[in-house]
Amino acid sequence: MVGIGGAAESTDMVLNIGPQHPSTHGVLRLRLVLDGERISHAEPVIGYMHRGAEKLFEARDYRQIIVLANRHDWLSAFSNELGVVMAVERMLGMEVPERAVWTRTLLAELNRVLNHLMFLGSYPLELGGITPVFHAFREREELQNVMEEISGGRMHYMFNRVGGLKEDLPAGWLGRARDAVAAVRSRMDVFDRLVLGNEIFRGRTRGVGVLTPEAVHSYGVSGPIGRASGVDFDLRRDEPYLAYGELQDTLKVVTRSEGDCLARFEVLLEQTHNALDLADACLDRVAELPPGPINQRLPKVLKAPEGATYAWTENPLGINGYYLVSKGEKTPYRLKLRSASFNNIQALTELLPGTLVADMVAILGSLFFVVGDIDK
Protein backbone atom coordinates (compact mmCIF):
# COMPACT_ATOMS: atom_id res chain seq x y z
CA MET A 1 0.00 0.00 0.00
CA VAL A 2 1.07 3.56 -0.57
CA GLY A 3 0.33 5.75 2.41
CA ILE A 4 -0.25 9.48 1.97
CA GLY A 5 0.67 11.51 5.03
CA GLY A 6 0.80 9.88 8.45
CA ALA A 7 -2.71 8.42 8.48
CA ALA A 8 -1.88 4.85 9.48
CA GLU A 9 1.16 3.49 11.24
CA SER A 10 0.99 0.16 9.42
CA THR A 11 1.02 1.53 5.87
CA ASP A 12 4.17 1.57 3.82
CA MET A 13 5.10 4.68 1.94
CA VAL A 14 6.85 4.62 -1.41
CA LEU A 15 9.22 7.56 -1.76
CA ASN A 16 11.01 8.52 -4.96
CA ILE A 17 14.34 10.27 -4.50
CA GLY A 18 15.17 11.70 -7.90
CA PRO A 19 15.82 11.43 -10.74
CA GLN A 20 16.09 15.21 -10.42
CA HIS A 21 17.00 15.72 -6.78
CA PRO A 22 19.87 17.57 -5.04
CA SER A 23 20.92 14.53 -3.02
CA THR A 24 21.32 12.06 -5.89
CA HIS A 25 24.53 13.21 -7.64
CA GLY A 26 22.63 13.81 -10.86
CA VAL A 27 20.04 11.77 -12.69
CA LEU A 28 19.81 8.72 -10.44
CA ARG A 29 16.46 7.61 -9.01
CA LEU A 30 16.07 5.76 -5.74
CA ARG A 31 12.75 4.05 -5.10
CA LEU A 32 12.43 3.66 -1.35
CA VAL A 33 9.76 1.83 0.60
CA LEU A 34 9.46 3.34 4.06
CA ASP A 35 8.11 1.96 7.30
CA GLY A 36 7.81 5.14 9.31
CA GLU A 37 11.28 6.72 9.33
CA ARG A 38 13.04 3.50 8.37
CA ILE A 39 13.77 2.24 4.88
CA SER A 40 12.45 -1.28 4.37
CA HIS A 41 13.33 -1.66 0.68
CA ALA A 42 15.55 0.27 -1.73
CA GLU A 43 15.88 0.01 -5.49
CA PRO A 44 18.29 2.15 -7.54
CA VAL A 45 16.68 2.95 -10.90
CA ILE A 46 19.31 3.84 -13.49
CA GLY A 47 19.42 4.66 -17.19
CA TYR A 48 18.29 8.30 -17.26
CA MET A 49 21.69 9.39 -18.62
CA HIS A 50 22.35 6.44 -20.92
CA ARG A 51 24.31 7.52 -24.02
CA GLY A 52 24.86 4.14 -25.66
CA ALA A 53 28.64 4.58 -25.65
CA GLU A 54 29.27 0.84 -26.05
CA LYS A 55 27.24 0.84 -29.28
CA LEU A 56 28.96 3.99 -30.52
CA PHE A 57 32.35 2.26 -30.03
CA GLU A 58 31.41 -0.08 -32.88
CA ALA A 59 31.03 2.80 -35.35
CA ARG A 60 34.31 4.60 -34.58
CA ASP A 61 37.87 3.56 -35.35
CA TYR A 62 40.50 2.87 -32.69
CA ARG A 63 41.66 6.48 -32.59
CA GLN A 64 38.15 7.90 -32.26
CA ILE A 65 36.84 5.63 -29.48
CA ILE A 66 39.18 7.30 -26.98
CA VAL A 67 37.03 10.44 -27.03
CA LEU A 68 33.97 8.35 -26.11
CA ALA A 69 35.72 6.32 -23.44
CA ASN A 70 37.11 9.22 -21.43
CA ARG A 71 33.68 10.67 -20.64
CA HIS A 72 31.74 8.07 -18.65
CA ASP A 73 33.49 8.91 -15.36
CA TRP A 74 34.12 12.56 -16.09
CA LEU A 75 36.31 12.92 -12.99
CA SER A 76 38.72 10.22 -14.21
CA ALA A 77 39.10 11.00 -17.90
CA PHE A 78 42.80 10.10 -18.20
CA SER A 79 42.33 6.76 -16.45
CA ASN A 80 39.35 5.95 -18.69
CA GLU A 81 41.41 6.55 -21.82
CA LEU A 82 44.15 4.34 -20.44
CA GLY A 83 42.01 1.18 -20.36
CA VAL A 84 41.01 1.54 -24.01
CA VAL A 85 44.50 2.12 -25.39
CA MET A 86 45.93 -0.70 -23.26
CA ALA A 87 43.33 -3.11 -24.66
CA VAL A 88 44.13 -2.11 -28.26
CA GLU A 89 47.89 -2.27 -27.62
CA ARG A 90 47.48 -5.74 -26.16
CA MET A 91 45.59 -6.85 -29.29
CA LEU A 92 48.35 -5.43 -31.48
CA GLY A 93 51.14 -6.89 -29.32
CA MET A 94 52.59 -3.39 -29.17
CA GLU A 95 55.38 -2.29 -26.81
CA VAL A 96 55.03 1.26 -25.50
CA PRO A 97 58.19 3.40 -25.03
CA GLU A 98 59.46 3.58 -21.45
CA ARG A 99 59.02 7.34 -21.37
CA ALA A 100 55.34 6.93 -22.18
CA VAL A 101 54.88 4.20 -19.55
CA TRP A 102 56.21 6.37 -16.72
CA THR A 103 54.43 9.51 -17.90
CA ARG A 104 51.16 7.61 -18.13
CA THR A 105 51.62 6.37 -14.56
CA LEU A 106 52.36 9.90 -13.37
CA LEU A 107 49.27 11.36 -15.06
CA ALA A 108 47.07 8.50 -13.84
CA GLU A 109 48.02 9.29 -10.24
CA LEU A 110 47.48 13.03 -10.69
CA ASN A 111 44.07 12.18 -12.15
CA ARG A 112 43.40 9.98 -9.09
CA VAL A 113 44.09 12.93 -6.79
CA LEU A 114 41.78 15.16 -8.84
CA ASN A 115 38.99 12.59 -8.61
CA HIS A 116 39.38 12.03 -4.86
CA LEU A 117 39.55 15.74 -4.06
CA MET A 118 36.12 16.23 -5.60
CA PHE A 119 34.58 13.67 -3.24
CA LEU A 120 36.63 14.82 -0.25
CA GLY A 121 35.00 18.22 -0.73
CA SER A 122 31.51 17.25 -1.85
CA TYR A 123 30.80 14.52 0.72
CA PRO A 124 31.00 16.85 3.75
CA LEU A 125 28.87 19.31 1.74
CA GLU A 126 26.09 16.72 1.54
CA LEU A 127 26.20 16.40 5.32
CA GLY A 128 25.94 20.14 5.86
CA GLY A 129 29.60 21.24 5.90
CA ILE A 130 30.26 23.80 3.15
CA THR A 131 33.88 24.80 3.91
CA PRO A 132 35.77 21.65 2.71
CA VAL A 133 34.54 21.99 -0.87
CA PHE A 134 36.27 25.38 -1.19
CA HIS A 135 39.55 23.83 -0.06
CA ALA A 136 39.06 20.88 -2.43
CA PHE A 137 38.52 23.11 -5.45
CA ARG A 138 41.58 25.22 -4.64
CA GLU A 139 43.74 22.07 -4.59
CA ARG A 140 42.08 20.79 -7.75
CA GLU A 141 42.95 24.03 -9.55
CA GLU A 142 46.66 23.53 -8.74
CA LEU A 143 46.64 20.14 -10.47
CA GLN A 144 44.16 21.11 -13.20
CA ASN A 145 46.59 23.79 -14.32
CA VAL A 146 49.44 21.35 -14.97
CA MET A 147 47.10 18.81 -16.61
CA GLU A 148 45.67 21.52 -18.85
CA GLU A 149 49.14 22.70 -19.82
CA ILE A 150 50.13 19.35 -21.32
CA SER A 151 46.80 18.36 -22.89
CA GLY A 152 44.81 21.51 -23.53
CA GLY A 153 41.82 20.00 -21.70
CA ARG A 154 40.57 20.66 -18.20
CA MET A 155 38.39 17.56 -17.86
CA HIS A 156 38.59 15.48 -21.03
CA TYR A 157 42.30 15.37 -21.73
CA MET A 158 42.45 13.21 -24.89
CA PHE A 159 46.19 12.81 -24.23
CA ASN A 160 46.50 9.03 -24.55
CA ARG A 161 47.12 7.49 -27.94
CA VAL A 162 47.44 3.88 -29.06
CA GLY A 163 51.19 3.35 -28.67
CA GLY A 164 51.86 6.08 -26.13
CA LEU A 165 50.89 9.70 -25.57
CA LYS A 166 49.97 12.55 -27.90
CA GLU A 167 53.25 14.45 -27.45
CA ASP A 168 56.16 14.93 -25.09
CA LEU A 169 55.96 17.10 -21.99
CA PRO A 170 56.56 20.86 -22.39
CA ALA A 171 59.89 22.34 -21.26
CA GLY A 172 59.87 23.01 -17.53
CA TRP A 173 56.62 21.10 -16.97
CA LEU A 174 58.16 18.57 -14.58
CA GLY A 175 59.22 21.35 -12.23
CA ARG A 176 55.79 23.00 -12.34
CA ALA A 177 54.11 19.65 -11.70
CA ARG A 178 56.42 18.99 -8.75
CA ASP A 179 55.55 22.41 -7.27
CA ALA A 180 51.82 21.71 -7.71
CA VAL A 181 52.09 18.33 -5.96
CA ALA A 182 54.06 19.87 -3.09
CA ALA A 183 51.53 22.69 -2.74
CA VAL A 184 48.59 20.28 -2.58
CA ARG A 185 50.37 17.99 -0.11
CA SER A 186 51.20 20.90 2.20
CA ARG A 187 47.50 21.70 2.63
CA MET A 188 45.98 18.19 2.73
CA ASP A 189 45.95 18.21 6.53
CA VAL A 190 42.92 20.52 6.21
CA PHE A 191 40.80 17.43 5.50
CA ASP A 192 42.32 15.56 8.43
CA ARG A 193 41.60 18.39 10.85
CA LEU A 194 38.52 20.08 9.42
CA VAL A 195 36.59 16.98 8.36
CA LEU A 196 37.88 13.90 10.18
CA GLY A 197 38.42 15.92 13.34
CA ASN A 198 34.85 17.21 13.28
CA GLU A 199 32.66 15.45 15.85
CA ILE A 200 29.46 16.15 13.88
CA PHE A 201 30.92 14.55 10.76
CA ARG A 202 32.06 11.52 12.76
CA GLY A 203 28.69 11.26 14.46
CA ARG A 204 26.91 11.23 11.09
CA THR A 205 29.18 8.61 9.52
CA ARG A 206 30.57 6.23 12.17
CA GLY A 207 28.68 2.92 12.20
CA VAL A 208 26.34 4.10 9.41
CA GLY A 209 25.89 2.11 6.19
CA VAL A 210 28.10 -0.85 7.07
CA LEU A 211 28.98 -2.91 3.98
CA THR A 212 30.18 -6.45 4.76
CA PRO A 213 33.05 -8.15 2.88
CA GLU A 214 30.54 -10.78 1.71
CA ALA A 215 28.39 -8.09 0.10
CA VAL A 216 31.51 -6.57 -1.53
CA HIS A 217 32.25 -9.91 -3.21
CA SER A 218 28.60 -10.59 -4.09
CA TYR A 219 28.07 -7.27 -5.88
CA GLY A 220 31.55 -6.92 -7.38
CA VAL A 221 32.23 -3.75 -5.41
CA SER A 222 35.79 -2.48 -5.87
CA GLY A 223 38.09 0.46 -5.25
CA PRO A 224 38.04 2.51 -2.03
CA ILE A 225 34.52 1.25 -1.21
CA GLY A 226 35.61 -2.40 -1.23
CA ARG A 227 38.87 -1.76 0.61
CA ALA A 228 37.01 0.13 3.36
CA SER A 229 35.23 -3.16 4.11
CA GLY A 230 38.49 -5.05 4.49
CA VAL A 231 38.72 -6.49 0.95
CA ASP A 232 42.44 -6.04 0.31
CA PHE A 233 42.55 -5.89 -3.48
CA ASP A 234 44.26 -3.37 -5.73
CA LEU A 235 45.25 -4.11 -9.33
CA ARG A 236 48.25 -1.81 -9.10
CA ARG A 237 49.76 -4.24 -6.59
CA ASP A 238 48.05 -7.56 -7.41
CA GLU A 239 48.32 -7.40 -11.21
CA PRO A 240 50.70 -4.52 -11.95
CA TYR A 241 50.40 -2.59 -15.21
CA LEU A 242 52.23 0.48 -16.50
CA ALA A 243 55.12 1.19 -14.10
CA TYR A 244 53.39 0.08 -10.89
CA GLY A 245 55.54 -3.05 -10.69
CA GLU A 246 58.53 -0.79 -9.94
CA LEU A 247 56.62 1.39 -7.47
CA GLN A 248 55.75 -1.28 -4.91
CA ASP A 249 57.89 0.38 -2.23
CA THR A 250 55.87 3.61 -2.58
CA LEU A 251 52.45 2.11 -3.29
CA LYS A 252 50.32 1.64 -0.18
CA VAL A 253 47.04 -0.24 -0.42
CA VAL A 254 44.82 1.45 2.15
CA THR A 255 42.20 -0.71 3.91
CA ARG A 256 39.81 -0.48 6.84
CA SER A 257 37.75 -3.19 8.51
CA GLU A 258 34.72 -1.19 9.69
CA GLY A 259 33.01 -0.86 6.28
CA ASP A 260 30.99 2.20 7.31
CA CYS A 261 30.70 5.68 5.79
CA LEU A 262 33.56 6.97 7.94
CA ALA A 263 35.87 4.13 6.85
CA ARG A 264 35.13 4.85 3.19
CA PHE A 265 36.04 8.52 3.64
CA GLU A 266 39.22 7.63 5.55
CA VAL A 267 40.33 5.24 2.79
CA LEU A 268 39.70 7.90 0.15
CA LEU A 269 41.70 10.50 2.07
CA GLU A 270 44.64 8.22 2.84
CA GLN A 271 44.68 7.00 -0.77
CA THR A 272 44.93 10.64 -1.90
CA HIS A 273 48.05 11.11 0.24
CA ASN A 274 49.57 7.98 -1.31
CA ALA A 275 48.71 9.07 -4.86
CA LEU A 276 50.70 12.27 -4.25
CA ASP A 277 53.67 10.15 -3.10
CA LEU A 278 53.39 7.99 -6.23
CA ALA A 279 53.25 11.10 -8.41
CA ASP A 280 56.47 12.36 -6.81
CA ALA A 281 58.17 9.00 -7.41
CA CYS A 282 57.11 9.10 -11.07
CA LEU A 283 58.32 12.69 -11.46
CA ASP A 284 61.74 11.62 -10.17
CA ARG A 285 61.91 8.70 -12.60
CA VAL A 286 60.73 10.67 -15.66
CA ALA A 287 63.36 13.33 -14.91
CA GLU A 288 66.06 10.61 -14.93
CA LEU A 289 65.02 9.03 -18.24
CA PRO A 290 67.14 9.81 -21.31
CA PRO A 291 65.44 11.65 -24.18
CA GLY A 292 63.41 9.30 -26.33
CA PRO A 293 60.11 8.77 -28.12
CA ILE A 294 56.83 9.14 -26.23
CA ASN A 295 54.76 7.11 -28.71
CA GLN A 296 54.91 4.59 -31.55
CA ARG A 297 54.40 5.52 -35.18
CA LEU A 298 51.11 4.09 -36.36
CA PRO A 299 49.89 3.20 -39.87
CA LYS A 300 47.41 5.54 -41.53
CA VAL A 301 44.65 2.97 -41.04
CA LEU A 302 44.96 1.12 -37.75
CA LYS A 303 43.43 -2.36 -37.67
CA ALA A 304 43.54 -4.75 -34.72
CA PRO A 305 43.98 -8.45 -35.57
CA GLU A 306 41.04 -10.80 -35.16
CA GLY A 307 40.56 -11.99 -31.59
CA ALA A 308 39.50 -10.84 -28.15
CA THR A 309 41.21 -9.41 -25.09
CA TYR A 310 40.36 -7.92 -21.70
CA ALA A 311 42.24 -5.04 -20.11
CA TRP A 312 41.48 -3.72 -16.65
CA THR A 313 42.85 -0.88 -14.58
CA GLU A 314 42.55 0.34 -11.00
CA ASN A 315 40.60 3.51 -11.69
CA PRO A 316 40.07 6.07 -8.91
CA LEU A 317 36.57 4.72 -8.21
CA GLY A 318 37.41 1.03 -8.63
CA ILE A 319 38.06 -1.60 -11.29
CA ASN A 320 37.50 -0.45 -14.86
CA GLY A 321 37.57 -3.17 -17.52
CA TYR A 322 37.39 -3.23 -21.31
CA TYR A 323 36.50 -6.41 -23.18
CA LEU A 324 37.55 -5.88 -26.78
CA VAL A 325 36.49 -8.15 -29.65
CA SER A 326 37.99 -7.55 -33.09
CA LYS A 327 37.12 -8.98 -36.49
CA GLY A 328 40.26 -7.52 -38.05
CA GLU A 329 38.61 -4.24 -39.05
CA LYS A 330 39.52 -0.65 -38.19
CA THR A 331 36.57 -0.48 -35.75
CA PRO A 332 35.92 -2.75 -32.74
CA TYR A 333 33.39 -5.52 -33.36
CA ARG A 334 32.44 -5.21 -29.68
CA LEU A 335 33.83 -3.18 -26.79
CA LYS A 336 32.15 -3.95 -23.46
CA LEU A 337 32.84 -1.57 -20.60
CA ARG A 338 32.86 -2.74 -16.99
CA SER A 339 32.67 0.43 -14.94
CA ALA A 340 33.26 0.68 -11.19
CA SER A 341 30.24 2.82 -10.28
CA PHE A 342 27.79 0.44 -12.00
CA ASN A 343 28.68 -2.37 -9.60
CA ASN A 344 29.25 -0.21 -6.54
CA ILE A 345 25.81 1.42 -6.68
CA GLN A 346 24.03 -1.97 -6.69
CA ALA A 347 25.13 -2.41 -3.07
CA LEU A 348 22.53 0.21 -2.08
CA THR A 349 19.86 -2.52 -2.17
CA GLU A 350 21.73 -4.13 0.72
CA LEU A 351 22.97 -1.01 2.51
CA LEU A 352 19.81 1.08 2.78
CA PRO A 353 17.16 -1.34 4.17
CA GLY A 354 16.93 -0.98 7.96
CA THR A 355 18.51 2.48 8.03
CA LEU A 356 16.84 5.81 8.76
CA VAL A 357 15.80 8.15 5.95
CA ALA A 358 18.04 10.77 7.58
CA ASP A 359 21.07 8.52 6.97
CA MET A 360 20.21 7.86 3.32
CA VAL A 361 22.18 10.83 1.97
CA ALA A 362 25.21 9.95 4.13
CA ILE A 363 25.23 6.39 2.78
CA LEU A 364 24.54 7.40 -0.81
CA GLY A 365 27.32 9.99 -0.87
CA SER A 366 29.84 7.61 0.70
CA LEU A 367 29.69 5.32 -2.36
CA PHE A 368 31.59 8.00 -4.35
CA PHE A 369 30.00 7.31 -7.72
CA VAL A 370 29.58 9.24 -10.96
CA VAL A 371 26.23 8.77 -12.70
CA GLY A 372 27.80 8.71 -16.17
CA ASP A 373 29.96 5.82 -14.97
CA ILE A 374 26.76 3.91 -14.12
CA ASP A 375 24.84 4.61 -17.32
CA LYS A 376 27.79 4.87 -19.76
User: What pTM does this model have?
Assistant: 0.93
170 upstream amide cis, omega within 30 of 0: no
- pLDDT confidence of residue 12: 81
Q: How far apart are CA 78 and CA 86, in angstroms?
A: 12
- pLDDT confidence of residue 24: 58
Q: How far apart are CA 29 and CA 209, in angstroms?
A: 19
- pLDDT confidence of residue 23: 55
- If we measure between CA atoms, which residue out of 198, 178, 190, 195 comes closest to residue 138? 190
The answer to whether 94 and 296 have CB atoms below 8 angstroms apart is: yes
Q: What is the pLDDT along the chain (376 residues), one digit of tens a residue?
A: 344 454 445 568 998 887 875 555 668 889 999 998 999 999 999 988 888 889 999 999 999 999 999 888 989 999 999 999 999 999 999 999 999 999 999 999 999 999 999 999 999 998 999 999 999 999 999 999 999 999 998 889 999 999 999 999 999 999 999 999 999 999 999 999 999 999 999 999 999 999 999 999 999 999 999 999 999 999 999 999 999 999 999 999 999 999 999 999 999 999 999 999 999 999 999 999 999 999 999 999 999 999 999 999 999 999 999 999 999 999 999 999 999 999 999 999 999 999 999 899 999 999 999 988 998 8
- Report the amino acid identity of residue 118: M
Cα 70 to the chain's mean position, in Å? 12
Count the neighbouring beta carbons within 10 Å of the beta carbon of residue 245: 12
Task: Give me the residues paired with residue 35 across strands.
Answer: 38
- Report the amino acid identity of residue 240: P
Alpha-carbon Rg for the chain in angstroms: 21
DSSP-derived letter for residue 169 is P
- pLDDT confidence of residue 372: 87
